[in-house]
Chains A and B, each alone.
Chain A
Amino acid sequence: MRIYRRPISSTPIGRAAKRFSRTVGQSILNVMPSHIFTSKRAIDTFQKIGKYVTPAENRLILGMTAIFMQVGIDAMNHRVDDETRHISMARTAAKVIAGTLTGFAIRKALIKSVDAFSKLPTSLGKDGKPVKLTRLNTFFSPVTKALPDSDEYQNYKNGLGNVLALIVMLGTNFAIDLPLTRFLTNKFAKLGGGNDKTSD
């Protein structure tokens, strides 16, 4: 006997959640300003962001803003004593630097690698001629009925590179991030005049 399960969206709770989400979404859309991007510069900027901001660049932007914002917030945290605040700042800075450096480098390397091994019949080599397809250089190429759109294919390569980077980072989080964060925390705590116990 087969059991037919109703999808969650067709249950009363699912329908109520959908109605709520729709009402909230519509209310937000109503207050948002309507805009026509007439400037070519604005459209070019969007295109450049779409083309060049991969997960690697995204991680770099996140890390660069984190250095100022997160350390600043820790510096203004007066709920804890001076010594704890000082170590907290050192640790946040160390964590951000270690995480950003390894996160950016690994993502960038993996996205480049995926790019090299996911060629299509339309892919061109450095000399501008079509690339000869082999089993190796099509290792990450998906099988689709039609040739994928170039932008969508770039998004796919970025996504796959990022997924592979996360798998690699399972190891590097412990092998590189951890000792580097520890080293930098102790260095920063010492630089900022931390107590003897926290310094090397």
Chain B
Amino acid sequence: MIKPLTKYASDFFMDIKNSLMRSFGEDPGKMLLHTGTLGWILSSLAQVMAVVLNDKIPKKQKTFLIPQEIADAGINICSFYIFTNSFTKLANKMVSTGKWRTPAIDAFLKKYNLKKHIGSYDFNIKDLANFDEIKSSYKAIASGNAIAASTIGSIISCNLVTPILRNKFAAHKQQQAIARMEAAEQSAFVPQRGISLETFQRCAAINCSKNGMKI
């Protein structure tokens, strides 16, 4: 029995919604990271096109701006992911391992003699059997902490690391492009004078071998 197409579409849409609920519901920092990375990929594509299609920017500036945009896109996406991911993960770990905690969480850890595990990489408060006792207190700082860390990570990556690196890369590319353009202009004005030394040597070799002359 073949299911109607609408049923498949409906099931597919439901799967997407449930999957988003599972992955983004618990961790808003992860949601900001993944959607942010996708967003930068799409907007970078549009920005490169903006420079390519702008006729009012002179060719000399375009040699700087196009590589600047491409460098911007590559560096932006990589640095956004690396920095934001690191900041979000660290912030989540700080809360889940109990390094950053509320007085209620502190009392809870003391009650169950778990304070010695604070700051241990494999320790996770959320995995504890009695987590429900402090769930509201934990959530009070966890969500905001992840969002704040994600925002700080993205500010550092997009507004500090990327502009510095892309300018360095684009300036280097511009110097190369200008040097190439100047070399091409110069070669166009060099008159042809006789034959080159290489051509002369080749002709001389052929001539010598024809006459059977040995040196």
Give the B-binding residues of A (Cβ under 8 A): 22, 25-26, 28-30, 32-38, 43, 45-51, 53, 55, 58, 61-62, 65-66, 69-70, 73-74, 77, 79-80, 83-84, 87-88, 91-92, 95, 99, 103, 140-144, 148-149, 151-153, 155-156, 158-160, 162-163, 166, 169-170, 173-174, 177-178, 181-182, 185-186, 195, 197-200
Decide if the interface of chain A is mainly helix, strand, loop or mixed: helix
Interface flag for B18 (CB, 8 Å): yes
B167 CB to nearest A CB, Å: 5
Please indicate the chain A residues that have their CB under 8 angstroms from the CB of B150 in the complex: 58
| C-alpha gap A95/B102 in the complex (Å) | 41
Given A30-B119, A46-B144, A70-B159, residue A163 in contact with residue B102 (CB < 8 A) = no
A40 CB to nearest B CB, Å: 10
Q: Which of B49-57, B183-191, B193-201, B206-214 interfaces with chain A?
A: B49-57
Contact B18 A53 (CB under 8 A): no
Give the A-binding residues of B (Cβ under 8 A): 14, 17-18, 20-21, 23-28, 31-32, 35-36, 38-39, 42-43, 45-47, 49-51, 53-54, 56-58, 60-61, 64-65, 68, 89-90, 93-94, 97, 99-103, 106, 118-122, 139-148, 150-151, 154-155, 158-160, 163-164, 167-168, 171-172, 174
Contact B159 A166 (CB under 8 A): no
Enumerate 20 A-B pairs (CB-CB under 8 Å) in ascending A order.
A30-B119, A34-B99, A34-B118, A35-B100, A36-B103, A49-B147, A51-B143, A55-B35, A58-B32, A84-B64, A142-B20, A151-B139, A155-B31, A156-B25, A158-B24, A159-B31, A166-B35, A166-B39, A173-B42, A173-B46
Please indicate the chain A residues that have their CB under 8 angstroms from the CB of B17 in the complex: 140-143, 160
Please indicate the chain A residues that have their CB under 8 angstroms from the CB of B119 in the complex: 29-30, 32, 34
B60 CB to nearest A CB, Å: 8
Please indicate the chain A residues that have their CB under 8 angstroms from the CB of B148 in the complex: 46, 49, 53
Contact A166 B38 (CB under 8 A): yes
| C-alpha gap A65/B151 in the complex (Å) | 11
Please indicate the chain B residues that have their CB under 8 angstroms from the CB of A45 in the complex: 144
Given A84-B174, A166-B39, A169-B39, residue A29 in contact with residue B163 (CB < 8 A) = no
Q: Which residue of A lies closest to B68 (CB)?
A: A88
| C-alpha gap A83/B56 in the complex (Å) | 14
* Sample of 13 further A-B pairs with CB below 8 A, known A29-B119, A30-B119, A37-B102: A22-B122, A33-B99, A55-B35, A65-B159, A70-B159, A73-B167, A88-B65, A92-B163, A142-B18, A144-B18, A151-B139, A162-B35, A177-B46
